[in-house]
Structure 1
């Protein structure tokens, strides 16, 4: 379904991604881990075509993604939605309008200028917000929401595109452990219930193990680990991060010390 074949990205004399190769043959949730500067974000940006690969080929269902230009490239980007660490919402705009921005790629210039949306799209946006547990915030300005709620609005906007792949670039990096778990469970539910591939750059090993079907580890632009979450041992993590024996996962854990409530309860708490 998705294939990276010796994909490389260079910036001047620096190699951000070095001959990355892997195949995803069915929808799954994949976590990409590695220290800052390992090439994780660049990898996602090449897949979404926010940046061009210097060499190599990215293909999806036989489509050469790296060769797309113009309208074909924009069409691909609508099928490969991106969620960012900083949410990228319009702060003073209401929540439902931010979600409806996920339809901009298929709207006319006139309707975009006058902020006109079909009733069908508005109902769908509210249904998606309901699914993510934040429908009651639909009329509020995005800036009035908590960080966890804003990230779920960003997820809702991505779902409005009805993409085949969702990319999440450090989606929980700025969130507290409670909201981090709510956001990750939302992404997991989207994968399981919709059958969509979700690829997330993560900075906590426990999160990768808990929510992902597969983990890819990057170091200095190269893929140095590709396997099941249970194979991601502390020793393997040290190799991925280039750390010594003093490396401790506890410093980056998103675990909540008390017994975790059910995901629905987590969502309700985070919405308060």
Structure 2
């Protein structure tokens, strides 16, 4: 499906992504991990063509998407939907209209200017919101929703594009653990039920292990790990993050914990 060969991005003398190479031969959910500045966001932006690559090739079903221009480039950006950390919704617009913005790439200028949508698209938008558990919020302004709900609206907007692949750039970085879990479960269901490839930039190891079929680790712009979650040991994580022996996964965990239950377990262990 997707072949990335020596993909490189330089900003002046700085190299943000250095000869990234990997292949995705079937639909899967992939987590990209690494410290801030490792090149994760730049990698996704090059795949989506939001940022031009300096060197390399990105082949999707044999076609080099880095060479696409004009309409073909816009069509690729519909096939390769992007979800952002900050949601990128129109705050004062109602939720269903935000979702319908996922169809802008295939609508006429006049229809866009007058905010005209086919009835079938409106019904489909509401069905997608229902699938994500937020259909009751369809008439509300986006700004009235919680962060987790807004991110699900952003996912719904991406699904309106009917993409072949979804790229999620730190989709849970600004969410609390409960909402982070809800969003990651939604992305996992989309992968499993629709057969879509999902590539998500993630900060936390527990999230990558729990939801992803494959994990790519980046450090200083280079891919330094590519394997299954079971191979993502603490020692491997130290290498990815450039951390010492004091590295603790718990410090960045998004797992939902019950502090009272954990205290009871520690007390029981102490008695034994």
Partner of 2:241: 241
What are the within-5 Å matches in structure 2 for residues 200-211 of structure 1?
A: 200-211=200-211
Question: What's the TM-score once normalised by structure 2's chain length?
Answer: 0.95
Partner of 1:191: 191
Partner of 2:101: 101
Find out whether 1:66 has 2:66 as its counterpart: yes
Partner of 1:143: 143
Find out whether 1:154 has 2:154 as its counterpart: yes
Structure 1 stretches of 5 or more lacking a match?
A: 260-272
CA distance in structure 2 between the partners assigned to 1:213 and 1:171 by the alignment:
17
Structure 2 stretches of 5 or more lacking a match?
A: 260-272
Number of equivalences: 259
CA distance in structure 2 between the partners assigned to 1:196 and 1:153 by the alignment:
18
CA distance in structure 2 between the partners assigned to 1:100 and 1:91 by the alignment:
14
Question: What's the TM-score once normalised by structure 1's chain length?
Answer: 0.95
What are the within-5 Å matches in structure 2 for residues 1-272 of structure 1?
A: 1-258=1-258
Per the alignment, in what secondary structure is the counterpart of residue 166 of structure 2?
A: strand
Q: Which structure has the bigger radius of gyration? A: 2
Deviations 1:75-134 (A, max 9, x none): 000000000000000000000000000000000000000000000000000000000000
Deviations 1:31-58 (A, max 9, x none): 0000000000000000000001100100
CA distance in structure 2 between the partners assigned to 1:220 and 1:258 by the alignment:
36
Partner of 2:264: none
CA distance in structure 2 between the partners assigned to 1:77 and 1:163 by the alignment:
9
Per the alignment, in what secondary structure is the counterpart of residue 102 of structure 1?
A: helix
Q: Tell me how far 1:258 sits from its aligned partner.
A: 3.7
Deviations 1:178-217 (A, max 9, x none): 0000000000000000000000000000000000000000
CA distance in structure 2 between the partners assigned to 1:3 and 1:11 by the alignment:
23
CA distance in structure 1 between the partners assigned to 2:257 and 2:39 by the alignment:
32
CA distance in structure 2 between the partners assigned to 1:258 and 1:216 by the alignment:
30
CA distance in structure 2 between the partners assigned to 1:155 and 1:84 by the alignment:
9
Per the alignment, in what secondary structure is the counterpart of residue 32 of structure 2?
A: strand
Partner of 1:269: none
CA distance in structure 2 between the partners assigned to 1:224 and 1:135 by the alignment:
41
